[in-house]
Each structure stands twice: as structure tokens, then as C-alpha cells.
Amino acid sequence: MTTTPDTGALATLTSGCPVHLPGDPGYDAATTPWNLSVEQRPAAVAVPRTVDQVRDVVRAAAAAGLKVAPQSTGHGAAALGEHSLEDVVLVRMHELTGVSVDPAAGTVRVLGGTLWQDVVAAAAAHGRSVLHGSAGDVAVVGYALSGGLSFFARRHGVAANSVRAVEVVTPHGELRRASAEEHRDLFWALRGGGAGNFGVVVAVELGLLPYADVFAGMLLWDRERAPEVVRAWVEWTRTAPDSATTSLRVMSFPPLPELPPFLSGRDLVVVDGAILEDDERAAEVLSPLRALAPEMDTFGRIPAPALLGVHMDPPEPSPAVGDHSVLGELDDAAVEAFLAQVGPGTRSGLMSAELRHLGGQLARPVAGGGVLSSVSGEYALLCIAMAPTPQAAVAGRAAAFAVNRAMSAWSRVSLVPTFAETRVDASRFYDAHDWAALCRVRDEVDPDRVLLANHPL
């Protein structure tokens, strides 16, 4: 027998916390995720401003027979959007933000809905940086507790390895602090197991990196040059030092007045990233790619916060769909297969087909690390299409899938959680032993399956 969820009771019980029900004036704005291709229609949406409000909402949701889906920005909304949300309270965390840096301890504490751009700015004020991703408006929690691939990754590993402690409201409404000393199994599971599988995270503590500035930038060519550039980059990645973390993208932009002329209406191949060396050594590392005479070369020493602009991510919420796989070594046939999909003369319909270089420290499991302290494979393939209409979303998904399928001879079973745009079998993020242990922690923390993450265990 199914019970009808009592959403009215939810609104009453959480009187201190804004809760919007369908039809309320605030409902549409509060349920709109960063990824505008996803429509979220939960039973209710709560926007807590305090930890106590989070606890009230979680308890009230459980009492009303509803599930709880935490969400910070909705960058990862596509996979969550494949679940029915009709019996779910979406807990949007964007009002619970804040950053405090402890330079002496070399750590930064951020509240549950905080964006990377705010952490990067606060760390930079002390001459430090953090293992942020390419976009400043991604939230710390969704990214770092699902692994997190930064442009420092081949030197420093996944962002989850920099997590020192996590404060989480469990499905029973209890506040737990998980660290190397307290709730150690939960701490292990949270570092890569996806925060939303274990509770609503209200704060995380991260280690700082000693970088005030960084050698970083991009090289850009017309897509006609893709055959030589893709071959050369793949060859270069085989011996690139761990200090260099780069991505290669074949990109297509419609002619739009808001785009700069070097992007508008163009098909391009772009290599970008960071090289953690002094200027002389970094230039030496980059020289084989510079020898290909890019049309633009912005690589140079920049203040650490400027790294957030290097990858040219959309500056505001956007509608996008995508597909992902992890690839092993790429031989000549692999490069040909990639070019046959997105090289000169093709019309894939994708905005971007990206190969993110893995390996280095990413490949080395860390003693005392979490469930995802390393990532296997040589490259993460991520294909993205803009999806302003449902028809464009269908076509975009098919286009992204087609490129991944064309590369399947080189793909691994594993997937990178933060790049998994669609609903996937989450066991593919972990090895079999860790998967079983992770599910045991989930069973202990959430025996009644109150929580709904974007990638449920």
C-alpha cells in the first residue's frame, strides 16, 4: 500500500525555513537548476538558511513520508532529473554559504552551498589556492565529494583527497562531523561516494594549496588543424609530467553577437590547463604544442583565481546535455575514430568534445583516502551539446552518445562521477570491494532510503 505524502505538514513543521509547494509564487524559481535543460517538479522545495533549518526540513520530510534530494547549484541536475521527484523534497543549499580560511592550519571551512569562486577568492587573499574545477559557479560539495577533477589533478589527485572533515545532517536529522577521528566509515564514504547519498552536507573543511599564481592558459586553432593537433596532443600527453594537467576540446560555436569574434560562428580545437612549474620549465613542457603555431596562445603566469576563466565555461545557467566515458591509451586508430566524429568537415551537433588528461597522481590510490582517492584510465571523454529545446536535447544526447560509442574500443568500464551527466550504474565509479563497503555505509546511515542523490548507490 502506498501512502500519500503530507506536504502540508512539511510546510507547517518547517515554519522557519522557506518551503515552496507547487503553485506557490517561489516554487518555479527555487526549483530551477543551473542546467536549464532539466525541469524539476518536486513535491516541495526547501531553501534553508541555517543548519537547524536543514535538520527541521529533513525530519519533517521523513515524517511526511517524503524523500530528500540535496542540491546546491543544479550543475549536476541532469542525472537527478531522470528520477521522479513527485515524492521528493528538493533541499536547495544556495542560501547556506560562507567561507573561513585558517592560513595557519592550511585549511578552509566552507558552508554547504558555497561556490568555488568564493573559496578561490578567499584562499587567494592568503596567497593560496584549492582543488577547484574549471567553473567558478560549481558548488564545492557536489564536486569535491564526488571526486572532483581540477587543473592541478595530475599533481595533487582528486579534490576529495583535500577534504579534511565533513559536517552532515543525516536522514534522521542528526548533525554528524565526519573526519579521520570521528565517524571514520562515513568520512571514507563521503570522500567520493556522492554527498547526497549520506545526508545534507552543511559544511566541509578542505586543505589549501600553496599557489598564489599559476602558469596556465589555452592554445587555440581552427578545427581544420584538428588532425595534427589531436595527434600531437595525444602524443604529448604520453610523456607530459604530472605537473601538467590539460584538456583538449573540439568546439563549435554558433554565430552569436555576445560571443567574442574568435569564438563566434567557429569550429575550433582548444588545449587548455595548468602547468605547476616555474615559467622556464613550463614553457619547455609546452613547447611541442606551441610549435604547432596556435592562432591564440594565452599560456603564461596568472593569479590563481584567473584559472577559473581559462576553460571558458558558460558564465550563467545554461541548457546542456552530455555523455561521458573513460578511455585508456589512445593509438592512431583511436585518434582517427575521434576525428571521424568531430574533426574537419563533420557536423556532430556538439558544442564540445573534450578529452581530459588523467593519470599522474590521479592514478595513485592515497593511503587514508576516501572511497574515490584515485581515478583509473588515461583520458575522460565528455561530450556536451546545448539543449535549448526538448528536441535539441534529444538530438544532443544522441550526438554525445554517438561519439562515446565510436570510442568504445578504447573505453574502460569505469566512469568519473562528476562527468557522468546521465543516470548510470553508480557501481561503475568504484571497484567491486569498495562498492560493497560503500553500500554497507549507506545502509547504516540511510536504512529507510530517505535520500535521493543524483547518482544513487
Ligand X SMILES: Cc1cc2nc3c(=O)[nH]c(=O)nc-3n(C[C@H](O)[C@H](O)[C@H](O)COP(=O)(O)OP(=O)(O)OC[C@H]3O[C@@H](n4cnc5c(N)ncnc54)[C@H](O)[C@@H]3O)c2cc1C
Which amino acid does the sequence have at 243?
S
Q: To the nearest whole angstrom, how small is the minimum distance from the Cβ of residue 94 to ligand X?
A: 9
| CA–CA distance, 164 with 107 (Å, rounded to integer) | 8
Q: To the nearest whole angstrom, how small is the minimum distance from the Cβ of residue 47 to ligand X?
A: 12
Nearest to 245, CA basis, from 155, 143, 159: 155
Q: To the nearest whole angstrom, how small is the minimum distance from the Cβ of residue 344 to ligand X?
A: 26
Q: To the nearest whole angstrom, how small is the minimum distance from the Cβ of residue 252 to ligand X?
A: 17
Distances (CA, A) of 260 to 101, 255, 256, 264, 349: 36, 10, 9, 6, 20
Q: To the nearest whole angstrom, how small is the minimum distance from the Cβ of residue 147 to ligand X?
A: 6
Q: What is the largest CA-CA distance in the chain?
A: 70
| Cell 572532483 found at | 148
Q: To the nearest whole angstrom, how small is the minimum distance from the Cβ of residue 96 to ligand X?
A: 8
Closer of 7 and 197 to ligand X (Cβ): 197
Closer of 33 and 343 to ligand X (Cβ): 33
| CA–CA distance, 165 with 326 (Å, rounded to integer) | 29
Q: Which residues contact 288 (CB under 8 A, 6 or more apart)?
A: 232, 235, 236
Q: To the nearest whole angstrom, how small is the minimum distance from the Cβ of residue 363 to ligand X?
A: 16
Closer of 76 and 343 to ligand X (Cβ): 76
Q: To the nearest whole angstrom, how small is the minimum distance from the Cβ of residue 340 to ligand X?
A: 27
Estimate the crossing angle of helix 226-239 against helix 332-342, to 10 degrees. Answer: 140
Instruction: Check if the beta carbon of residue 141 is closer than 8 Å to that of residue 72.
Output: yes
Q: To the nearest whole angstrom, how small is the minimum distance from the Cβ of residue 387 to ligand X?
A: 12
Beta bridge partners of 300: 216
3-class DSSP assignment, residue 77: helix
Q: To the nearest whole angstrom, how small is the minimum distance from the Cβ of residue 4 to ligand X?
A: 25
Q: Decide: residue 204, CB within 10 A, 0-12 exposed, 13-18 middle, 19+ buried.
A: buried
Closer of 142 and 171 to ligand X (Cβ): 142
Closer of 243 and 422 to ligand X (Cβ): 422
Q: Decide: residue 391, CB within 10 A, 0-12 exposed, 13-18 middle, 19+ buried.
A: exposed
Backbone conformation region of residue 27, classed left if phi is above 0, alpha if psi is from -120 to 50, else beta: alpha
Closer of 73 and 411 to ligand X (Cβ): 73
Closer of 339 and 403 to ligand X (Cβ): 403
Closer of 225 and 455 to ligand X (Cβ): 455
| CA–CA distance, 92 with 73 (Å, rounded to integer) | 8
Q: To the nearest whole angstrom, how small is the minimum distance from the Cβ of residue 262 to ligand X?
A: 20
3-class DSSP assignment, residue 397: helix
Nearest to 179, CA basis, from 171, 169, 189: 189
| CA–CA distance, 194 with 199 (Å, rounded to integer) | 10
Closer of 70 and 377 to ligand X (Cβ): 70
Closer of 74 and 343 to ligand X (Cβ): 74
Estimate the crossing angle of helix 332-342 against helix 390-406, to 10 degrees. Answer: 160
Rule CB under 6 A: which residues touch ligand X? 70-77, 80, 93, 112-113, 133-135, 138-139, 141-143, 146, 148-149, 194-196, 200-201, 313-314, 418, 453-454
Closer of 339 and 375 to ligand X (Cβ): 375
In eight-state DSSP terms, residue 434 is H
Which amino acid does the sequence have at 29?
A
Nearest to 378, CA basis, from 335, 348, 339: 335
Q: To the nearest whole angstrom, how small is the minimum distance from the Cβ of residue 115 to ligand X?
A: 8
Closer of 77 and 383 to ligand X (Cβ): 77
